[in-house]
Chains A and B, each alone.
Chain A
Amino acid sequence: MMRSVEILLVIIILTGAFIIASSFAVLPEPRQASPVNLRRLALTTLQMLDSNHELSKVAFSAVDDPVWSELQVALSASLPPDVIYNLTVYEVDSSGSGAALYQYVKHVSNAESLGVSSDASSYFVASSNVTFTFTPEKIGGTLYILNCSDANGWWITGYTAQSLAEDLYKLLSPYFVKTIMVQSTTQLRQLIDGVKISGAPEESVENAVIINTFGESVSMPEEYYQGHSRSSEGYDASAPSGYGYVKYCYTLGQKTREHNWTWASIVGYPFYYVSNTGVFAGEQNNWGIYGMRMTSQGGVRAFLQGLDNQQYQYNDSGVISSVGVVTLNETVVNYCNYYGIYPSSYQTSTRALSILSGYNLTVGLYVFNPADGNYLPGAIYNHVFSGSTNITGSLLALGLTRTPDIRITAISLLSYYRPALYPSKYVANETSRLVVLQLGLVGGV
């Protein structure tokens, strides 16, 4: 009998344990086991409504504006029928006066309460009156953009040098102390002579950046024409027939060194032609373009001889290779994000240069990753005499195939000089509002 009593006690204890355990192990509702992520749904709803900045407009509207009812229609239409909402807009107080950080503005809702379960997401909207600006650091020196009206371009198919110059001006002028359009070959001659062309006190011919927007052609002042006053600096009578104006490229190389210029060639083979629509009016570049003469492969050789202060000697041995598809260097890609300039990172190079030996050149910036051995599709070369640490002239050569993308020129120069961007301080009042969307579920389990 005692054993039966003991067993009875055991059963009572087990029953008690089960009842206690059951009271703790409350089964959740299916909705809790597999909940709809209301927080995410609220956030994506707010993002969707603001995809065309419509939510931002409504949030800054007067509280009695009919657009609030349109917002309510949009919310009701976009959420499932079993989802109820409460959208509240708060003014963000950034005055630092010690008042409440958020001040209630208005709310729209389709229910008195938010049902059995709810969640919320918040979203900041900015007033359309707010503008966010950046102030760029200025690169020392002057930017000259060749815009000569008396010269023709080559390999800038689809553009004119003037249109490219205008776009480059918009892209780069904020970063330079002074940006000047070189409007004629006469003004280019003044630069070659070290003479300012604008009269502005900020202008400096020394240490300037010169962008040649004429592609493979370079503008030539008429004084360098055969038989004119500077013929000896512009024309080599002993050069093979038709290529005599390589001597002008040699002079440009010398002046680049003397003035410590950075000469930018935006596309193709640098210094392959010279152009002046006046003196070459009856002559063409072997491809039927009048106002232009070919210097061929000797042009860049002569420029580099001048840059390195070597004795001029006609040399037309090739320095290029067609390397095909090339990719932007990682450094430049990073600066694309910083400066907000996004050319395609894949480009085709048919004029990659191999000029690092023989001219005291070092690479200041790889614009594109090296391809096919020593051939560089795009780079900024610095000229530094042996034993010296000073840069005496630079060349940006982008050996891409036509047509040019001047964004690459711009990002190359910015990646090299790396001017900082200073965002404007954001201190305006009543320019930002907080929108909170609370969602709840009704009905069902």
Chain B
Amino acid sequence: MAGATIDHLVSLTIFLAAMLLFIGFFNQMIQTAVVYQQHRATATKCSDLLDTMLLNPGIPKIGEPSVFGLQDTEFTQYTLNSSSLMRLNSSTGTPIYYEKTGTMYSNVTVGFGNSLLMPINNSLCKVVNYSSALNLLRINGAYGFQLTLTPVVTFDIEAERSDDNVELRIDVRGVGFPLANAHVSCYFLPVSLSGDYPDFLPAQATEVSTNEAGNATVTFPLEEGYTYVFLASAQVGGLAGVGFYVPPSDNPRVIPFVDDLSAKSVVLAHSYDVPNTAGSGTLAYNATFVFWNEHFGLQTVAMADSTGTVTSGAGGNFSFVTIPSGNPGVLLVAYGNGAAGGVAVLPWGVGSLGFPVVFGGSTAGREWVATDMRQVIVNGVAYQAKLSLWSLQGVQVVG
């Protein structure tokens, strides 16, 4: 009798232990499958959302958008509106405050002194922030995302100045490989710093081809007392990209801030006033507007009231200039104070200078991030649009 009882107890204990163990095994298998399904759903949502963003025109030049879309209404398929891209609050550059306008500016930057600064809270054309985009996409609380638009063709330009010329070494690369045998159109705009205002001299143009490594070298004559800005476009096999170079300067400079997209107005500020006044000085400036035509030749548009001065300090002034064209292009502002000067560039439309755009939240620390990508066109320039998407609804993995 005792033996049967012991047998019963032992067998029951083993049975319960085995059941618990197998429940755990099967649970892990099911959990893994559920997680896989959730990841798969996130990936599908990522692809759908990316198409939603790229194939819907939504963000107007002025006013609040009703949907989050970046497509250019004048074109079809994956051609994006550069004005809409300008209105995305950059999540990489540090926002910049300008005391004299009392405005915080979103900062899309490709390096020191080369930024696209958009007003964050201007009532007419404030940037679209991440939380607004989540609401417009109807995914608030469900997903987070980061949208990255990177030019396919990137330029790395180095300059070496001698007494009477400037040698520019150009390295053109694609996403995957160097852009070998590409046709590069080069435009060199010398700026005279003598006189009351800086003066743009006629552009010097030349064409070169890159070698197998994507490199090319061009030389332009330039005397003392002049500065310059260099713009280039590269094309090969239907792929196009643009780049630029301005000599770096430690001197006071003019900083262009976008004031109003629809009115096409730009604020020119003295760098000593940004963010707060930290010195006094006056800079004379001369602005001009250039844009790429459909064959990536550079066209210049005359500007009214293109010259003036900006003064830092409590009683100093900033200036306005108005973009003279409806085309996306580049505002070039030559500045100087007699002794030294330089050129500030402002892309009017991110594609004009191949500026990248990063918009949305950070992917750091996310458990699973789905990504998808498309090739898009912005102002005729090839970009790669990549969307990273993650679920905010908690995915727990057991075991």
Q: A27-B36, A78-B152 are in contact. Are A48 and B382 (CB under 8 A)?
A: yes
Contacts of B178 in A (CB 8 A): 77
A80 lies within 8 A of B375 (CB): no
Partner of B29, one of A2, A3, A25, A52: A25
Chain B residues lying within 8 Å of A112, measured Cβ to Cβ, are none
Residues of B within 8 A of A41 (CB): 373-375
Contact size class for A?
35 or more
Closest to B177 in A: A76
B18 touches A73 (CB 8 A): no
Asked whether A34 lies within 8 Å of B375 as measured between CB atoms, the reply is no
Tell me, in angstroms, the Cα distance from A22 to B380 when the chains sit together: 52
Minimal beta-carbon separation of B349 from chain A (angstroms): 16
Q: Is the CB of A45 within 8 A of B176?
A: no
B168-190: which residues lie under 8 A (CB-CB) from chain A?
Answer: 173-182
Decide if A50 touches B238 in the complex (CB within 8 Å).
yes
Take A40-B374, A51-B377 as given contacts and tell me if A73 and B237 are in contact as well, using a CB distance cutoff of 8 Å.
yes
Please indicate the chain B residues that have their CB under 8 angstroms from the CB of A34 in the complex: 39-40, 42-43, 46, 368, 370-371
Considering only CB atoms, which chain B residue lies closest to A6 in the complex?
Answer: B11
Give the contact stretch, choosing among A10-18, A90-98, A368-376.
A10-18
Q: Given A25-B29, A33-B43, decide whether A77 and B153 contact each other with a Cβ distance below 8 A.
A: yes
Q: What residues on A are CB-neighbors of B25 within 8 Å?
A: 18
A73 touches B11 (CB 8 A): no
- For B8, B11, B237, B239, which residue has the most chain A Cβ atoms within 10 angstroms? B237
B63 to chain A, nearest CB (A): 15
Q: Beyond A69-B181, A77-B152, is A51–B380 a contact (Cβ under 8 Å)?
A: yes
A41 to B376, CA, bound (A): 10
Distance in angstroms between the alpha carbons of A80 and B19 in the assembled complex:
50
Complex Cα–Cα for A22 and B180 (A):
51
- The answer to whether B294 has its CB under 8 Å from any CB of chain A is yes
> Is A62 interfacial (CB-CB < 8 Å)?
no
B7 at the interface (CB under 8 A from A): yes
Does A55 reach chain B (CB closer than 8 Å)?
Answer: yes
Q: When the two chains form their complex, are residues A21 and B29 in contact, meaning their CB atoms are under 8 A apart?
A: yes
Proximity string of chain B (53-91) to chain A, C-beta cutoff 8 Å, 1 when within and 0 when not: 000000000000000000000000111000000000000
B51 in contact (CB, < 8 A): yes
Binding site for A on B (CB under 8 A): 3, 7-8, 10-12, 14-15, 18-19, 22, 25-26, 29, 32-33, 36, 39-40, 42-43, 46-47, 51, 77-79, 152-153, 173-182, 236-240, 294, 368, 370-377, 380, 382, 384
Enumerate 17 A-B pairs (CB-CB under 8 Å) in ascending A order: A4-B11, A4-B14, A25-B29, A27-B32, A34-B39, A40-B374, A48-B78, A48-B238, A51-B238, A51-B377, A70-B237, A71-B238, A74-B237, A74-B238, A75-B237, A78-B239, A80-B176
7 closest A-B pairs by CB: A77-B174, A74-B237, A54-B238, A49-B238, A3-B11, A74-B239, A70-B237
Q: A14-B22, A15-B22, A34-B40 are in contact. List 10 more A-B contacts (CB 8 A).
A: A4-B11, A11-B14, A11-B18, A37-B372, A40-B47, A47-B77, A54-B237, A76-B174, A78-B152, A79-B175
